[in-house]
Amino acid sequence: MKTKITLLIILLATFFTLSAQKTQQEIVIIGTMHTVPKIVKHSYKPMLRFAKKYNPENIFVESPMPNDTISWEYLKKGWSKGYQKFYAKSDSIKKVFDFNEITFKVLAAKKYANLSPIEIDYLIKSYLYLRDNGNYELLTYLKKYGIKGANKPTRHEDGDLTYKLALYKNMKVLNVDDQQTNGEYHEAWRKCVKEGVNNGNNAANQKLNKINYNSAILPAIFRKLGKHTNKRKSLQQLHDMASFSYVVKDTKGCVEGRDYFNQRNMRIAKNIAEQILATKKTKNIVMIGAAHVIGLEKELKENYPNLKVILMNEY
């Protein structure tokens, strides 16, 4: 009798373990190249095929969080002209647009293919009002190109990958970016470069950049730039350059820049994880600049061990 009870307990434990494994929430991270040159304008096609095949339940995009007032305080006069214009429009429309939450929710729940031009315009204004950059750009893209997206390559991750995937899946995108300390990061970058003139740091950076660039030439010719970029070795090189980990001698500017870069990755990881845990979706895909992938993987694995983190090439 004791043997039967023991066996039953083992079987039940095994069953619950396997069930937990099957429902474990996972994150597939795709490192993007942002804007690609005309000569490799089709680089995002294989990445889109991969993303469609993965069939995500959530799509995360590298756009600032709508409620991140610290990031927007910087971005309204920051490095990006696009974000400057978006913030100005958003700030202006809040004063005149009659936002109706019920109307917005009804329209946002409709399939993209069933939206009228007037309804698309209302959603565009609503996302602008809500300062939701990712979905504002997505609906603007839908209005311009239609339900199938752009016929010709836009050469950018949003137009050729993220938004095409979102329209194909009839899904909204979730914003995850954080730029709270981006101004300080760029200032530290300038300091690091200035300090690196005579101590070998700039030469080391140029050497690593040349290695990374040259290694991408052949894959790019055969439309495998995305796959090459998402190799762990390539991702590590991009991480090292963005985090000033290439230096042969640490200086104040380089240390500060590395710290700001790591802080940003930590906050982006938090934005991703909290939304995944809130939505309770199992399959999640993150489109992010390739230089952030290694840092995000580290932060997510260390701070959210219950989430399974997978890089695109390792899926």
Q: What does the alpha-carbon distance between residue 3 and residue 11 come to, in Å, rounded to a whole number?
A: 12
Model confidence over 203-261: pLDDT tens digits? 999 999 999 999 999 999 999 999 999 999 999 999 999 999 999 999 999 999 999 99
Q: What is the pLDDT of residue 20?
A: 47
Residue 147 has pLDDT above 50, yes or no: yes
Mean pLDDT of 286-290: 98
Question: What pairs with residue 32 in β-bridges?
Answer: 289
Indicate if the pLDDT at residue 124 is higher than 80. yes
pTM of the model: 0.92
pLDDT band at 9 (very low <50, low <70, confident <90, very high): low
Residue 102 CB neighbour total at 10 angstroms: 7
Q: Per-residue pLDDT averaged across 118-122, rounded?
A: 98
Helix (H) or strand (E) holding 30: strand 26-32
- Tell me the mean pLDDT in the region 10-39: 77
Whether 309 shows a pLDDT value over 50: the answer reads yes
pLDDT confidence of residue 21: 52
Using pLDDT thresholds of 50, 70 and 90, give the confidence band for residue 8: low
Report helix angle 293-303 to 252-279, nearest 10: 60
Q: How far is CA 244 from the centre of its chain?
A: 21
As a whole number of Å, the end-to-end CA separation of the chain is 45
Has residue 264 got a pLDDT over 70?
yes
- pLDDT category at 18 given cuts 50, 70, 90 is very low
Flag whether pLDDT at 161 surpasses 90.
Answer: yes
**What integer is the mean pLDDT of 257-268?**
98
Parallel/antiparallel/unpaired status of strands 174-177 and 58-64: parallel
pLDDT tens-digit readout, 66-119: 999 999 999 999 999 999 999 999 999 999 999 999 999 999 999 999 999 999
| Longest pairwise C-alpha distance within the chain | 79
309/315 Cα distance (integer angstroms): 10
Length of the chain: 315
Mean of per-residue pLDDT scores for the chain: 94
Of the given ranges (18-27, 42-51, 157-166, 253-262), which has the lowest mean pLDDT?
18-27
For residues 289-293, average pLDDT: 98
- Interatomic CA distance for residues 81 and 88, integer angstroms: 11
